[in-house]
Structure 1
Amino acid sequence: MTSGRGATRKQLESAFASGPGAVLVGLPGVGKTVMARAAAKAYAKRHPRATSLWVSATESAKLIPFGAFSHLVEFAGADEPAMLLRTAQDALRRDAADGLVLVVDDAHHLDTLSATLVHQVATSGFARMLVTVREGEACPDAVTALWKDEILARCDIHPFDADESAVLLEQVLGGPVEAVSSTRMFEVSQGNPLYLRHLVVAAVDAGALRQVEDVWQLRGEMTFTPELSTLIDQHLSALAPEVRMVLEFLAVDDPLSVSTLAEVAGLDAVDRAEMAGVVTVSDQGGSLVVRPSHPLYTERVRSSLGRLAFRRLRKMLVGQLSTDAPTDISGRLRIAGLALDTDSPPGAGDLVALSWEAMRMGDLAFGERLARGALDQTGDLSARLPLAHSLSWQGRGHDADDVLDPVDPDTLSQWDLTAWTLPKAANRFWMLSQPSHAVTYLAEMRARISEPAAFHTLDALAATFAMNCGEPGRAVRMASVVLESSEALELAVAWAAATATLSSARIGRFEDVEQLAQRGLSATHPGLLRFTIGLGQTTGLIMAGDVGAAEELSRHYLSFSEFQQPGRAIGEVLLGLTLVAGGAFDEATTLLRQAAAALTTTGYSWGPLALTGLTQALGQQGKAADAAVALDRAASAHGMRSELYAPDLALARAWARAAARDVRGAVGAAREAVHVAEQSGQRAVAIRALHDLVRLGDVGGVATARRINAQIPCVTGNLCVAHGQALADRDGAALDAVSTELEGAGLLAVAADAAAQAALAHQAAGQRAGEVAAKARAAALSQRCGNPVTPALEKALNPLPLTSREREVAAMVAQGMTNKSIAARWSVSVRTVEGHVYKACMKLGLPDRSALATTVQASPTMLPGKSES
């Protein structure tokens, strides 16, 4: 665990080791008892002869003298308290001959005599003591004195922090948990392990928490187990009605200003709620705001409110909030959301306008809700359009089509026909997996439009189709026509600029990227288009040799999406791809795996792209089995709508084969990536593929890299050419220099490979000092990347004295492959494979094939991936 609870455990251990013990203080359900048991068990393990006694105080036994100790001490009669205490101490001392550990759980419930006994035992020092106390509860003076008089050390146990909560969730569920879902459960539970456990049980039982592609995802509303509901209700039932009313208003809208709550519930009620500890009041921008002290309070109150009560509270809040007549968009959206489910909802026109605004801000679900409110009032196309857009952007293609289908296109004006065709065609291309049909359909509808401002919008979408179909050059030309027109509408400009930004970056028109990006960002559009723009920007920055700036920009885009899906997952793909480029493979695999799972039910081309990036990361980590699985998924998801990323898929195949120690196959796949990239005009991607070829040890593409870099000069291209030429020349010093430059560009994994290749070049030239320095540099860079396993690093850092071919066959043997299957993969005879196995065994002094497999598996630098069968 991280520092919070880990620090508490260390404090407990220290209190046991150097003193009489500790008092463990924490909120209900925070895990005091569990930690106390663990600490007592650890002490008993170190002192096996010591006696351990456990006392649990309860509310019901509080009125009975020595009630908590009745199972440990027998009292003959009604003696004086002093005599009873002496008798109890003597009874406990009899158990302390070889040491005594006394744990008193929930000591705030102790009766007076029991509390006095605990105090006396602690001061006498004949026992190690561990006492748990609930924070905020009234305690007997004798218990409070334990830490106030510094008799026992006070250790405060806090709820889990977000990271600890995420680790606990993964342990309980037995698999990775989507970051968005983990964060949501942490925010509701506030890290309280008891609450968290109940929330998990309820969510799993309700089907809201489920596994998709081996990743746990939380969707829908949070629910409570009966036990958790009872726990919260016990606390809430003791509240005065006016305090409960404050929580009811906060259940409707959180946070609320003190002034607003004072008007609807009364200032005295707010004051009493704060005194009761159920709300907190803090300063926010010069205004006092009220929040629930724990989210579960308002979650539970919300679930217990009837629909009529909810509508009444909403109406009261709308009336009060509207008195200030907010003009900012956030304030207007807030009031509209509250008023929607009252008997006086906003008009359809206002709801339509606000729905578009909500989507522009990235909140697709809220945009859907507002649009549905408008559609409830009118069946007009104006209400159907934002609803269809929101549904389609959320990946719910069939639902979006259902909203648009009732409209007869033959009855529409050119403007309305354009507005109707746009989501209809886009939905078919991505969400309904009908890209060919969508392209034809869009062209047919375009032929019915003569108004320039109208057909420019359809042309902008056609440009996006062309880009996704793997024709970025044509996409730029089509988008440019739209962008050059003074009659193009804002939405057309947004689509065209986003398409041109990404396409320009991939074909190598780097000088146009940022200007196009800014034009797209300044136009009115559904918020998810900004991620396409962001991918173009980060691609350009990486090619400019500034991976650090690309990562910073990626994290900015990720923060925009907050926790709304699918925007969050798309933002994770954007960041994950940047991290792969920089060599931060551990974080990249986490992001890309959960993003791919979240996008699997949508038609976004970001889904296949996430899988290709995941495969590349896993492949460079040497995780052959995982990379193979991810590659299969990427290939299955790939199609016409993601044809732009065909070179990326070929590179994914290259790294998956490299992880399986099929270097020849990896080189072949990387060459295919170069070919596909060049064929589609994606020269920047071709440069990247050529550089991966160099990393794999192939220098046959250096002339091609030089030619392409002359066409689209950039820092990464210069480094690719320099790296390839230095490797071709077997120039250790030149490879050292290019490794340093690659590190400066933020391409750490590539820099590690260059350093490894430098070490081998120095070794071949007999330059021992250069070899040692280059190996040390390769190892240091590798460690910064999480110790990836690439062919170059294996050759330089692997201590086993095998040739490349012998290493490959040894790795395949360790993966469980038969000689026949290895021969089939290499297209050689079984006898040839047997020869390689024999030579490998001879060099390593091993008796047989089985021993070879065991030895290779024990060499983490040679075979860190999981075995394949």
Structure 2
Amino acid sequence: MTAGRGATRQRLQSALDTGRGAVLVGAPGVGKTVMARAVARAVANEQSRIATRWVSATGSAKLVPFGAFSHLVEFTGADEPATLLRAAQHALRREADHGLMLVVDDAHHLDTLSATLVHQLALSGSVRLLLTVRDGETCPDAVTALWKDQLLARCDILPFDAEESAAILEQVLGGPVEAVSADRMYGVSQGNPLYLRHLVVAAVETGSLRQAEGVWQLRGEMTLTPELSTLVDEHLRGLAPDVRTVLEFLAIEEPLAVSDLAEMVGLDAVDRAESAGAVTVSDHGGHLVVHAFHPLYTERIRSGLGRLAVRRLRKMLVAQLSAAARTDISGRLRIAGLALDTDDPPEAGDLVALSWEAMRMGDLAFGERLARGALDQTGDLSARLPLAHSLSWQGRGKDADEVLKPVDPDTLSEWDLTAWTLPKAANRFWMLSESREAVSYLADMRARISEPAAFHTLDALAATFAMSSGDPAHAIRVATVVLESPQALDLAVAWAAATATLSSARMGSFDDVEVLARRGLGATHPGLLRFTIGFGQALSSIMAADVDSAVDLARHYAGFSEFQQPGRAIGEVVLGHVLVARGSLDEAATLFRQAAAALTATGYSWGPLALIGLAQALGQQGHSAEAAVALERAISAHGMRSELYAPELALARAWTLAAARDLRGAVAAARDAVHVAEQSGQAAVALRAVQDALRLGDVGAVVAARRINARIDCAAGRSCIEHGQALADQDAAGLDRVSVSLEEAGMLAAAADAAAQAANVHRSAGDRAGEALAKAHAAALSQRCGNPATPALEKVLNPSPLTGREKEVAVMVAQGMTNKAIAAQLSVSVRTVEGHVYKACMKLGLPDRSALATTVR
């Protein structure tokens, strides 16, 4: 082993010995699996009591929830993902009394739940993990997060360099290799071990690589090109027919148990395939399973199989796997997925049931595939419903509507009409941007229902419409009727409780939040409603001055998203807004960017909210141009479906203006946020807006703080009153105390601004010692927040030579306004504006108005 590879191996082993493990990343064929095996063996030899379990992920297994772990963990129920994940963790830990090392090969192929399981195991630290990932492949977010969040060490394994390649050639061939021949082999393989291996095999077989005087020499033209497909084809053509048959089955489904393959092709064929280096056989939880030696083998074979051959192989696999009579949900989903493309697919009823199960486990795409299989057999509503739900939840509103359109509602029973109306109305409200029409449509359909259990379900959706439209009080009234009815079904309870939870939190009815949240979480329902509940719970914690708990809660919900879209992005929006409250602006901006990219093409209200949060985070960081772009996008995306978040949109405008140094406009926008929130009954959100107004220096905000907190009385409201009074009184000591209390509450950015305001008041009073202490506190808090550029912090930590009015005029100049327009907006004379422009240019050493505009921009 040469130095480069040796160093990589040492890093891997060190990560397993001293940490939670590592992820080995490299190009196809670079030797990730070989090194992972070697390191795993070394760790097992050194620590003989530790148990080692192998998981090999594949493209086909990725279609089945927990497909990669099906040989290690059996799932007999159809519980929600969180329950299944806990059961899987427990089952894995139970296997090993003295420690467990889990090796996951080709982790980029993990299905969503398997990837989430690995991520949770890494978080717990109870299992040592070693993963291999193909560089350049799209990875599940849960896998990528392992090294991005520094849970596991990332080790990159690179192709061999020329020296390493020559050393490997000599080792494999058992003798010295001519330097020029080694260089030629390296030039073709570019150091890729798989390329190199195939080049050597082909060259020896053709005689172009031979020994002369004990030295291996390559003569003549190379018989193989560097293209990977050609190399693989050359190797596959040399395999025995029965060995190729083994690979054909693996090309359809991988891995396969030795016993299953033996039944279909014979044990001798499996043995010959292993001896030929075409497959590997490993022990997985006491069962021998077979993988292709390299995924490229099966990928190449799969591309060459005709449609009839694929159907024949699938049919044989279904027959064999069904013989084992697996009753666990993972096994049933695996068989159903294989059977879909055969002459004997599962019955429509079974596919419908399994489609709902797949979606309950968080796999919307697989649920869609199964539902489409059912729809191919029957045009019944029972097949259209899961397909429409899956498409709508994926944000594909038009596709969902097309699936529902052929159904004539006049032919449906009340129950079927209810089931059809739900996705039809919800899809129109959110995904098709027909919110007003959807509200009327839902009311019309509701009038046709007389069965209480049915119309309660429609009323629960109507409550959600009301909340999203900006009327949380009406939403609570409607939801309460549903929740109080003993006839309400679980789905109705889930929608109503989720709506009531968020609405109650935003209105300041904090005592109701946890009760409602538990009611919603206890119902069987689509998992995305959890985020609505979590958003309300997080806001309630923030208003209780417990931001740390809100962050923990939001991270929990982000983890529940199982790293699949759109759940992943929605979880990021919830977490991002909590992080803004704390002041973790860099992380929040990153989350919002990712979420906005995933959601803005859909109709979810979370999409505009992501853009709103992005503008707020960027504005507080002082990135005026980027904040302005995000704000403009948020305004364009905003509508009736996201009217609930109109106060947040006004705050996004406030922080965008603040970043542009338009403090007067920023304060006005913050006051507008307070007004909009109060008008819609969102008292808690109004207090959040008051706090931002105070951070921007609005001395009159204390009046609003007293008025609002008199209605809902909470820790955050009392803090706003204290902050506002100290600011109005220019009470430096009071502002010092406010900063400390905000820091203790976890609101670090607000605490930094309060400390900066205290420093400014100390300076005005001539208290240099107090100023220095407050300034140091502001600087420390600012650093913990990633050094934002709010007006208060800028004034103290990065003071400008311009006065407030000079800065304000300079910003307007940079915005392209004429002196006359500036004078009109500020209610001063044009001569006064000219004087401010002149003084600003002199202080900044600029020659003219144009240079001032350029500098400020």
Q: TM-score, normalised by structure 2?
A: 0.72
Question: 1:320-353 CA distances to partner (integer Å, 9 max, x unpaired)?
Answer: 3323433333332222222222222222112112
Distance change in 2, residues 1:315/1:112 (3 Å): closer
> CA–CA distance in 1 between the matches of 2:826 and 2:841?
20
Paired position in structure 1 for 2:621: 621
1:690 shift after superposition: 0.4
Q: Does 1:763 align with 2:744?
A: no
> CA–CA distance in 1 between the matches of 2:177 and 2:478?
82
Paired position in structure 2 for 1:458: 458
> CA–CA distance in 1 between the matches of 2:174 and 2:456?
83
Distance change in 2, residues 1:696/1:332 (3 Å): same
Paired position in structure 1 for 2:548: 548
1:744 shift after superposition: 2.7
Distance change in 2, residues 1:344/1:577 (3 Å): same
Distance change in 2, residues 1:784/1:496 (3 Å): same
* Equivalent pair of 1:292/1:298 in contact (CA under 8 Å): yes
* Equivalent pair of 2:801/2:843 in contact (CA under 8 Å): yes
1:612 shift after superposition: 0.7
Superposed, 1:338-417 pairs within 5 Å as 338-417=338-417
> CA–CA distance in 1 between the matches of 2:780 and 2:259?
58
1:673 shift after superposition: 0.7
> CA–CA distance in 1 between the matches of 2:238 and 2:823?
76
Paired position in structure 1 for 2:306: 306
> CA–CA distance in 2 between the matches of 1:565 and 1:485?
34
> CA–CA distance in 2 between the matches of 1:560 and 1:787?
31
> CA–CA distance in 2 between the matches of 1:385 and 1:429?
17
1:671 shift after superposition: 0.7
Paired position in structure 2 for 1:640: 640
Superposed, 1:221-620 pairs within 5 Å as 227=227, 229-230=229-230, 232-233=232-233, 241-242=241-242, 244-264=244-264, 295-620=295-620
Distance change in 2, residues 1:305/1:782 (3 Å): farther
* Equivalent pair of 1:26/1:134 in contact (CA under 8 Å): no
Matched letter for residue 419 of structure 1: A
Distance change in 2, residues 1:402/1:851 (3 Å): closer
* Equivalent pair of 2:29/2:192 in contact (CA under 8 Å): no
> CA–CA distance in 2 between the matches of 1:622 and 1:310?
58
Superposed, 1:76-115 pairs within 5 Å as 106-107=165-166
* Equivalent pair of 1:599/1:607 in contact (CA under 8 Å): yes
Rg larger in structure: 1
* Equivalent pair of 1:247/1:301 in contact (CA under 8 Å): yes
1:531 shift after superposition: 1.9
1:495 shift after superposition: 1.1
Question: 1:153-205 CA distances to partner (integer Å, 9 max, x unpaired)?
Answer: xxxxxxxxxxxxxxxxxxxxxxxxxxxxxxxxxxxxxxxxxxxxxxxxxxxxx
Distance change in 2, residues 1:118/1:725 (3 Å): farther
Q: Does 1:690 align with 2:696?
A: no
> CA–CA distance in 2 between the matches of 1:379 and 1:770?
76
> CA–CA distance in 1 between the matches of 2:271 and 2:546?
54
Distance change in 2, residues 1:467/1:106 (3 Å): same
* Equivalent pair of 1:795/1:804 in contact (CA under 8 Å): no
SS of match in other structure, 1:313? helix
> CA–CA distance in 1 between the matches of 2:178 and 2:706?
85
* Equivalent pair of 2:662/2:811 in contact (CA under 8 Å): no
Moved more, 631-640 or 838-847: 838-847
**Residue segments in structure 2 that go unaligned for 5+ positions in a row:** 12-24, 33-160, 182-188, 201-224
Matched letter for residue 803 of structure 1: T
1:691 shift after superposition: 0.3
Distance change in 2, residues 1:710/1:326 (3 Å): farther
* Equivalent pair of 1:26/1:133 in contact (CA under 8 Å): no
> CA–CA distance in 2 between the matches of 1:610 and 1:800?
33
Q: Percent of pairs identical after alignment?
A: 76
Matched letter for residue 368 of structure 1: E
Distance change in 2, residues 1:286/1:498 (3 Å): farther
* Equivalent pair of 2:29/2:294 in contact (CA under 8 Å): no
* Equivalent pair of 1:362/1:564 in contact (CA under 8 Å): yes
SS of match in other structure, 2:525? coil
Distance change in 2, residues 1:743/1:327 (3 Å): farther
Question: 1:236-290 CA distances to partner (integer Å, 9 max, x unpaired)?
Answer: 5555555554544444334445554554455566566667776666666665655
> CA–CA distance in 1 between the matches of 2:614 and 2:26?
42
> CA–CA distance in 1 between the matches of 2:328 and 2:341?
22
Paired position in structure 2 for 1:42: none
Superposed, 1:109-124 pairs within 5 Å as none
* Equivalent pair of 1:589/1:614 in contact (CA under 8 Å): yes
* Equivalent pair of 1:800/1:844 in contact (CA under 8 Å): no
Distance change in 2, residues 1:27/1:443 (3 Å): closer
Distance change in 2, residues 1:586/1:640 (3 Å): same
Q: TM-score, normalised by structure 1?
A: 0.71
* Equivalent pair of 2:759/2:774 in contact (CA under 8 Å): yes
Moved more, 450-459 or 501-510: 501-510
1:457 shift after superposition: 0.7
Paired position in structure 2 for 1:661: 661
RMSD: 3.7
> CA–CA distance in 2 between the matches of 1:290 and 1:761?
73
1:133 shift after superposition: 5.8
Q: Which has the higher contact order (CA 8 A, sep 6+)?
A: 2
Matched letter for residue 357 of structure 2: E
Number of matched residues? 677
> CA–CA distance in 2 between the matches of 1:561 and 1:390?
15
Question: 1:80-117 CA distances to partner (integer Å, 9 max, x unpaired)?
Answer: xxxxxxxxxxxxxxxxxxxxxx9768435689998577
Distance change in 2, residues 1:685/1:26 (3 Å): closer
SS of match in other structure, 2:581? helix
> CA–CA distance in 2 between the matches of 1:578 and 1:254?
42
Distance change in 2, residues 1:637/1:287 (3 Å): same
> CA–CA distance in 1 between the matches of 2:656 and 2:27?
49
Q: Does 1:703 align with 2:728?
A: no
Matched letter for residue 667 of structure 1: V
> CA–CA distance in 1 between the matches of 2:293 and 2:741?
52
* Equivalent pair of 1:595/1:610 in contact (CA under 8 Å): yes
> CA–CA distance in 2 between the matches of 1:689 and 1:270?
68
> CA–CA distance in 2 between the matches of 1:738 and 1:573?
28
SS of match in other structure, 1:356? helix
SS of match in other structure, 1:616? helix
* Equivalent pair of 1:736/1:755 in contact (CA under 8 Å): yes
* Equivalent pair of 2:425/2:441 in contact (CA under 8 Å): yes
SS of match in other structure, 1:562? coil
Paired position in structure 1 for 2:671: 671
Matched letter for residue 377 of structure 2: Q
